[in-house]
Structure 1
């Protein structure tokens, strides 16, 4: 069982993800915006965050960057979930630090499969600092 945090401003999406991920055996917490999500992540230290891009106040990209800059959260896997689905959008999401990207509308079964796949992979941080 993994601890999963869902950060999405759409209550219907939050409910759908809660049901799908809970049914898959995970402990799921919900947050309606980026600020609440960052607070929850800091207190929970989840195994994975499902993160909407288009959030009020702070975008999912901002939240993802903040997580990557926070030593305690930098190793948490992030699955970006967004209606923004162009190739450029997906690249921006990954440049912000997302480990995966799913475009809305989505299949709950496919999302659960992607979550399981991400959780089974060893999370690696690439250190781009050269050794001199």
Structure 2
């Protein structure tokens, strides 16, 4: 372990294994470990990431960082001294102007082009009734994509219902039976997928239904928002059908998942 000051200045990046972890469609990392892995971008110092995770106790943060290193998911990044010094000075100036200590971390979270396939087994799995077909609700306003996803779910034995706007979302979630799976887009014509997720997690009937965010919202901020909001997986578009099905298997607790 480095000294406290040097440790806070250390910069970590993802290893090949770390990149695979975020795109494997299955993870066993704890929520804190996964959030930390998502936040690490190869440019932020440990202190900057720690500032952005202020709700995590320091000891828990350090344990999560140790776990990621021990499993070779992250490794120290060797940074060009001149570039690092220049960036530090720019960040210091920016922070002074804005009054936000975690300004650099915020910029990193909002940067687009972050593609992941994360999924984890929910803590409470509700098995379908014996002999009953599984049901999925696909919340997606692109009819072509909704049909494509529905076809793949059909191969997995699902009966699929589709909702592309607020009214259809209300109608489909009012219909019996309660779905065994929800695939949720974020950007819809008149409703936000994160808001639908929040409503599902507040409702007793849907609280434990596995939800995978399937969306083009490809920023670290969006991924963290989805996972923190109760999503069991987050798959960014474009995606490969096999990768999506791997995520589906994971959230349903199937043995062929990681």
Query: Structure 1-normalised TM-score?
Result: 0.85
Structure 2: distance between partners of 1:34 and 1:120: 30
The answer as to whether partners of 1:53 and 1:59 remain within 8 angstroms in 2 is yes
The aligned counterpart of 2:242 is 109
Q: Tell me the secondary structure at the aligned position of residue 147 of structure 2.
A: helix
Give the drift of 1:81. 0.7
1:75 aligns with 2:193: no
CA RMSD of aligned residues (A): 1.4
Runs of 4+ in 1 over 2 A off after TM superposition: none
Structure 1: distance between partners of 2:230 and 2:166: 15
Query: Structure 2-normalised TM-score?
Result: 0.45
1:84 aligns with 2:226: no
Give the drift of 1:8. 0.3
Structure 1: runs of 5 or more not aligned? 122-132
The answer as to whether partners of 1:42 and 1:72 remain within 8 angstroms in 2 is no
The aligned counterpart of 1:16 is 148
Total equivalences in the alignment: 121
The aligned counterpart of 1:39 is 171
Structure 2: distance between partners of 1:35 and 1:53: 16
- Greater helix proportion: 2
Structure 2: runs of 5 or more not aligned? 1-132
Q: Tell me the secondary structure at the aligned position of residue 252 of structure 2.
A: helix
- Greater strand proportion: 1
Spell out, residue by residue over 1:98-129, the C-alpha distance to the aligned partner (whole angstroms, 9 max, x if none): 111000000111111211111127xxxxxxxx
